[in-house]
Structure 1
Amino acid sequence: MLTNDARALLRFYEALHLRVKEEDILEEALTFSTKHLKSMLPYLNAPLAQQVKNSLETPLHKGMPRLEARRYISIYEADVARHTSLLELAKLDFNLLQTLHQREISDISRWWKKINLASKLPFASDRLVECYFWILGVYFEPNYSMGREFVTKIIALTSVIDDIYDVYGTLEELKLFTDAIERAYFREANWYYKLYMPTFEENLSVSVMSSGYPMLAIQSLIGMADIATKEAFDLVIAVPKIVRSCALIARLVDDIQTHKVP
């Protein structure tokens, strides 16, 4: 039976995260598999126990590929049935790519210090590594190195603009700034200064775009020479349903996490 085979149940549980809307049977199956994995967890031995624990916290489908790879290397290393050559190859691959990522963030850090925004705008958040981590979740492969560096810089600058609109600019300053860059941020700032509490629908109508996710979806294409065609740019610039939906999910998750911070 499936409930007596933890490995099979774990694979079933992971596959269920690929379900789509209104697949009610798969929704029930996810509840079933989650319940039984949790009940089996105290009785499992390592490394399977750690694998189940990790999956219950963050399913593979929702994780970042390189973080999941790093976690699985440790789990696989503790498996007596491991293939030694395969394990060494995985470690070599991870370390070589990590070295490239470290070199990229080092280059970006030098750029950040050179433009000296930290002293010019002391209120701005210093989130360079966090910004890099965001694009690392979009593409981590070696051939997208230029794209990661470019989009990280865009995200960092956008984050500063977001800080200006959120708290630090006066209403008059923001009017002038908005005229200069033509963004949707001004409406949110206007709500803030007038102490207006927008409805859920009003907030989403503005925040999905002002979140910057549609813009970053466009920018990320620049580093993908294999698919960055005019047709691809035209499609994303039009903010199709898939881009708007991704932006909506990202915005809501961000708002939920921010709300939790006291």
Structure 2
Amino acid sequence: MSKIVVLGAGISGHVAASHLRRKLTKEHEVVVVSPNSNYQWIPSNIWVGIGRMPSKKILFPLAPLYKKKGIDFKQAKAVTFHPEGDLEESKPYVMAEYVTGDKQGTQEKVTYDYLINATGPKLNFEATNGLNPGTNKTYSVCTYTHAEHAWDGLNNVIQEMKQGKKAKILIGTGHAKATCQGAAFEYILNVEQELRKHKVRDMAEITWISNEYKLGDFGMDGMLMSYGSITMKSSEMVEMIFEDRDIKWILGAGVNKIEDGVAHYENLEGDNKSEPFDFAMLIPSFSG
């Protein structure tokens, strides 16, 4: 009999645990350790962040499902790894600390025969001074709670535009090492469409700010994309889309500081510049 421990219950961890439980016989044990009580379908955070979908539509509680499927679930965070055990425990284990309930704050040695580390990235907001979501007019769509707050902030700006106040909207990456340009790209196009829906597009100046070397790079030197019978470089397509929708862009920008309504950045030439905004959604850098 083997005991497989999965750290994390996001897209990779949840899928791994589900497949393991389905494919392995019952004498094998599958354990999920995650500090989150809910599973969230992260790609749909974009829809939550523009008010098109409530967060309850993109998440479900993990404990009832895992109980039904025969997966042991511990709502805890892994704090240390011990692949060779210790003087008291001969098997490899992870030290897990419970984050809720009667066991909150207590630690447990979770032994394993096989370990899947699917904890994902840490959202490293603190790497950029002032970038914390909900402060300084900046928001995030990296989690469903962040996305809810982003919609609140965006909706407030939309209501102000309906009252005749023009607004500057800034969307992109919030650090020189941010790597999730795709999510910001999805969001900026959806925000632009949402402003059209509310009939305030003419009241907004929308700007894309990114650490990319060129438009459509997406951190992987671009790609080929098909549009009908035409195949073009992603840089050509993104430029065409931005020009068509009157979206401005700033490239090669390493955002290093956020103040109330101002993003400070350094470009590839080493010049320090700033960009004002009334609403910003900036993707942070990730760390392990």
Q: TM-score, normalised on structure 1?
A: 0.28
Q: TM-score, normalised on structure 2?
A: 0.26
Name the one with the larger helix percent.
Answer: 1
Of structures 1 and 2, the one with the larger relative CO (CA 8 A, separation 6+) is 2
